[in-house]
Structure 1
Amino acid sequence: MWSTSKYLLLAAAVVCLSACFRLYSQLSSLNISTLIHHQFKARAPPPTISFYKLSLQWPPAACNGTLSCKPPIPSNFTIHGIWPQDRNNEPIPPYNKRNPCTPKTPTPPTVLPIKLRPIEVYLMSEWPNLTDGLNSTANYQFWEYEWKKHGTCSDYPDDPLTYFKSALKLRLGINTIVRFGRQTNWTVQQVADEVFDVLKAYPQIACNLNPSGTQKQLWEIRLCYDRPNPRQPPHVLINCTNILRVSKGKIIGPCKSLSDTIFFP
């Protein structure tokens, strides 16, 4: 009896040790350093705003590219957005509750029709949704998208009125961006030099293609502004880091060289 009990206890111990060894082997096979790295990365602080980029689009090119626009199509540069950028010229990511970019709670996009009412008429003129610029619903969808993507992690996450007014003030303060006429061809460098000659700062040039994909067009001129002091809107124009569109060190978009010829429709 006693001998049988000893054998049973010994067998149970062997089974337990075997299970523990298998568990240890499984844990050892996991890449613990990778798990820790991902956990640390998820908790890393968000990038800091270095400057702002005011993106001005040329409606005839935008509407002759990927957009399907209802007339009237504006014949002046309109605002696409004002985007906070980090020191690597990358957009600051949108607000994320799990890794917030600000201690403030951003204003939800759904209340923009109330917050932006005092400047709505100016936004419809200078910052329209080109697909249907006279449609209030379409315009607010555009503004809500820009607010959610760029405004909630700007310096004004709880003040959309100041955020949108900052872009309006910059746009309305520029009388001339380029002096050449429409239906003409220029190189990317020539367009950049023209903007520098007028505004005394180098822009970023964005191109698109016409519907047949046979012609590069001047789609957007983007101007860069130094990050302002607290409670001040962007106002100091600076040279953009890259004349061509660059993301993560690679040129993006149809224009790959400063010598590329682009059409101004």
Structure 2
Amino acid sequence: MWSTSKYLLLAAVVVCLSSCFQLYSQLSSLNISTLIHHQFKARAPPPRISFYKLSLQWPPAACHGTLSCKPPIPSDFTIHGIWPQDSNDEPIPPYNKNNPCTPKTPTPPTDLPIKLRPIEGNLTSKWPNLIDGLNLTANYQFWEYEWKTHGTCSDYPDDPLTYFDSALKLRLGIKTIVRFGRQTSWTVQQVADEVFDVLKAYPQIACNLNPSRTQKQLWEVRLCYDRPNPRQLPHILINCTNKLRVSKGKIIGICKSLSDTIFFP
């Protein structure tokens, strides 16, 4: 009798140990799979550049909207930035050394005052920091931000002179963007059609609000350029994928429809 109980107890222990081992194996497999998944996700390659977006801001709207600007306020479109975009029209993220977008080491932003000296005058004129456009220190703060955010994962991560000069060449090559006069109102679609008539490519339109938040304004016209071949600068205008600002497939920003009316201050 005693011997039978002992064997039954031993069998129960074996069954329990077997079940525990199976559970441990399943948990271990799950943890390893989860770890591999997270590591793979963290190491997913950065998105590939599909095209470039040249963002041109209208200073009277920018300074009569979100910015507080010191005069003189330019009365011509100035550069906000030139941004590498992926195939979904999302900005390429800034350089991250833990998951780099390029094998090259990007030029640090602190080196820009030396690297950009040959084009400093044109940058001050065409790519000013509208908050204080005659202040070179303020301008460099703006350029350093654009470089860190967009330039370090462009096709020129170790060549800021080429990166900034590419935007200057594009801007200097455009004499007219819109032909309608100031203090007029248009729909977003009409502005896009006007730019198409002038430049033969559809832009992306960005809006802001006046200080009293009662009127939508034409803030930026963004032009899209095909990604250049090696050793070339962006130069081929293409239709922008979206006429309004879009993120993750949804319209963002002040203007939500192509029928929205916007003022050109």
Per the TM superposition, whether the score is higher than 0.5 is yes
- 1:183-226 per-residue CA deviation (whole Å, 9 max, x = no partner) reads 00000000000000000000000000111111000000000000
Deviation of the 1:174 alpha carbon: 0.2
Q: How far apart are the structure 2 equivalents of 1:67 and 1:195?
A: 25
Question: 3-state DSSP class of the match of 1:230?
Answer: coil
- 1:93-151 per-residue CA deviation (whole Å, 9 max, x = no partner) reads 00000000000000000010000000000000000000000000000000000000000
In terms of mean alpha carbon deviation, does 252-261 or 9-18 score higher? 9-18
- 1:220-253 per-residue CA deviation (whole Å, 9 max, x = no partner) reads 0000000000011100000000001000000001
Q: 1:21 to 1:261 in 2, by over 3 A?
A: same
Q: 1:247 to 1:6 in 2, by over 3 A?
A: same
Deviation of the 1:35 alpha carbon: 3.2
Is 2:242 the counterpart of 1:242? yes
Q: How far apart are the structure 2 equivalents of 1:34 and 1:194?
A: 52
Deviation of the 1:65 alpha carbon: 1.0
Deviation of the 1:37 alpha carbon: 1.9
- 1:13-52 per-residue CA deviation (whole Å, 9 max, x = no partner) reads 9999899879939946966544322210111111110000
**Unaligned 5+ runs, structure 2:** none
Q: How far apart are the structure 2 equivalents of 1:123 and 1:8?
A: 88
Q: How far apart are the structure 2 equivalents of 1:45 and 1:182?
A: 46
Q: 1:7 to 1:139 in 2, by over 3 A?
A: farther
Q: How far apart are the structure 2 equivalents of 1:202 and 1:229?
A: 22
Question: 3-state DSSP class of the match of 1:221?
Answer: strand
**Unaligned 5+ runs, structure 1:** none
Aligned residues: 265
> How do residues 48-87 of structure 1 correspond to structure 2 at under 5 angstroms?
48-87=48-87
Q: 1:9 to 1:244 in 2, by over 3 A?
A: same
> How do residues 114-263 of structure 1 correspond to structure 2 at under 5 angstroms?
114-263=114-263
Q: 1:53 to 1:10 in 2, by over 3 A?
A: same
Deviation of the 1:10 alpha carbon: 12
Q: C-alpha root-mean-square deviation of aligned residues, in Å?
A: 3.4
Q: 1:211 to 1:42 in 2, by over 3 A?
A: same
Question: 3-state DSSP class of the match of 1:259?
Answer: coil
- 1:67-118 per-residue CA deviation (whole Å, 9 max, x = no partner) reads 1100000000000000000011000000000000000000000010000000
Q: 1:69 to 1:13 in 2, by over 3 A?
A: same
